[in-house]
Amino acid sequence: MTDPDLLQLQSESVASIAKADAATLEALRVGLLGKAGQITALLKELGSMEPEARKVRGAEVNELKAVVTSALEARKAVLDETALSLKLQAERIDISAPPRPEGLGCIHPISRTMEEIAAIFGAMGFTIKDGPDIEDDWYNFSALNIPAHHPARAMMDTFYLQANPGVRPPVLRTHTSPVQIRTLLKEPPPIRIIVPGRTFRADHDATHSPMFHQTEGLVIGKGITLAHLKGCLIDFLRAFFDNPDLPVRFRASYFPFTEPSMEVDIGWNRKTGEIGKGTDWLEILGSGMVHPNVLANCGIDPREYQGFAFGVGIERITMLKHGIADLRLFYESDVRWLRHYGFSALAPAMLHEGI
């Protein structure tokens, strides 16, 4: 290119294009190559020129057009690329982010109590067993020496399911005690188990729910006595309520599946609700020496083996330990309540740190 005007137009255009933003670039393109653009006008002028002169001038103007066009394209590519990466940056999803907000999840107090019970009895050599929520009336009642006329069997207390002819009537288990039977039938003594689980009764008020939780305990061996029962349950209650001096009282009672049977009470202050203080007694669990009929029902000779059993209501001891007034709150799934009464998932129940 020799024409200084063309050279100047080229260098000025290329310089402006190189620093243009998207809107300026479009304005430059229209001003140079649009219908009324400067280069378009130069091309139009060629039509009125002599062929010789047009050849020389045409080559120069076309060179100018080519240089400007490629400068426009190059700048557009740079601007498009920048716009795309800005967009990607803005829409970026951080896949390394934790799936749940940290620190919000917590362990429900019922689960926590079951973990604590497992930790305490685990340290005493107990293992954990479970059984079905839907039992039949032999496991839930008959095998446990509960007579046909016993009130617990009444329709108004127990959820019965549709019975098929020829099979034992199915019931939602009213306690975790049927797992005693399932274990005794399957495993030879010595036996040392706890059974945390769900139980069901037709009951509903501030201290009863149709679905609730219990933990059963069963120890069978040779020469197991009431002294073992007492030592075991005193240790459990003192560890659970975190009070080595907790007063514990054994009071004669009646359960069909134990003989003798005992209700276990702990000391508390009825007025203030303080556990371990005051002069009042609070019933906390049922227990006893396994009835010889229960062992015999499972094919175990009661003259050779003896043992003890107990059953504790999870909701009840959780309410007492943490001062929870209404049992229904356990099941309302109110996040504010859970945050207040829940436990950190990162602090498992461990006996050596204190429960």
Choice from 255, 305, 330, 341 touching ligand DAH (CB under 6 A): 255
Residue 216 in the binding site for ligand DAH (CB under 6 A): yes
Which residues, 6 or more positions from 109, have their beta carbon under 8 angstroms from its beta carbon? 318, 322, 324, 330, 341, 342, 343
Question: Which of these ranges, 50-58, 63-71, 240-248, 281-289, lies near ligand DAH under the rule CB under 6 A?
Answer: 281-289
121 versus 310: smaller Cβ distance to ligand DAH: 310
Is residue 342 within 8 Å of residue 106, measured between CB atoms? yes
309 touches ligand DAH by CB under 6 A? yes
One symbol per residue from 108 to 147: x for binding ligand DAH (CB under 6 A), - otherwise; what is it? ----------------------------------------
CB 235, min distance to ligand DAH, A: 17
Q: Mutual orientation of helices 4-18 and 22-33 as an angle, nearest 10°?
A: 160
The answer to the question of residue 265 lying near ligand DAH (CB under 6 A) is no
Comparing CB distances to ligand DAH, the nearer of 64 and 262 is 262
- Least separation in angstroms between CB 310 and ligand DAH: 5
Q: Which is nearer to ligand DAH, 13 or 158 (CB)?
A: 158
**Which structure tokens are listed for 134?**
């839907």
The per-residue DSSP string of 70-129 comes to HHHHHHHHHHHHHHHHHHHHHT---TTS-SS-TT---B-HHHHHHHHHHHHHHHTT-EE-
- Least gap, CB of 197 to ligand DAH (angstroms): 12
Residue 323 has which token pair?
């001062």
Q: Is 282 exposed, middle or buried (0-12, 13-18, 19+ CB in 10 A)?
A: middle
For the CB of residue 298, give the shortest distance to ligand DAH in the complex, in Å. Answer: 14
Distance of closest approach, residue 239 Cβ to ligand DAH, in angstroms? 19
**CB of residue 309 to ligand DAH, shortest distance in Å:** 3
Find the part of the chain contacting ligand DAH (CB under 6 A) among 81-89, 93-101, 226-234, 304-312. Answer: 304-312
User: Residue 31 is encoded by which pair of tokens?
Assistant: 């001003």
Of 305, 310, 341, 343, which one interacts with ligand DAH (CB under 6 A)? Answer: 310
Q: Is 311 in the site for ligand DAH (CB under 6 A)?
A: yes
Contact call for residue 307 and ligand DAH (CB under 6 A): no
Q: Quick one: the chain helix, strand, coil %, rounded to 5?
A: 45, 20, 35
Helices (H), the chain: 4-18, 22-33, 38-46, 51-90, 109-123, 137-140, 178-186, 226-240, 292-297, 314-322, 335-341
| Nearer Cβ to ligand DAH (13/140) | 140
Q: Which is nearer to ligand DAH, 109 or 286 (CB)?
A: 286
C-alpha 328/C-alpha 187 separation (Å) is: 37
**Rg of the chain over CA atoms, in angstroms?**
42
Does 288 interact with ligand DAH (rule: CB under 6 A)? yes
Closest CA to 316 of 202, 193, 212, 160: 212
Q: Is 175 in the site for ligand DAH (CB under 6 A)?
A: yes
Cβ atoms within 10 A of the Cβ of 260, count? 15
Residues that bind ligand DAH (CB under 6 A): 175, 177, 216, 255, 258, 286-288, 309-311
